[in-house]
Amino acid sequence: RANLGGADLRGADLRDANLKDANLKGAKLESAKLEGAIMPDGTKHP
């Protein structure tokens, strides 16, 4: 389980990343590429 709370992920390439169960509270995700990423709640980002 990754703790990415408060991390600056702006512009990060997170395509197809498995973020299931990750803590993203307060993380900065502006302009991050999330296509196909599995989100913390288990859903797949379109």
Judge contact between 24 and 44, C-beta under 8 A.
Answer: no
Q: What is the pLDDT along the chain (46 residues), one digit of tens a residue?
A: 899 999 999 999 999 999 999 999 999 999 999 999 999 999 999 9
pTM (two decimals): 0.84
pLDDT at position 15 is 98
Going from N- to C-terminal start, the domains of the chain cover 1-41
pLDDT at position 3 is 96
pLDDT at position 1 is 81
pLDDT at position 34 is 98
Q: What is the 3-state secondary structure (H, E, C) of 1-46?
A: CCECCCCECCCCECCCCECCCCECCCCECCCCECCCCECCCCCECC
Q: Which fold has domain 1-41?
A: Pectate Lyase C-like (2.160.20)
Residue 44 pairs in a beta bridge with 38
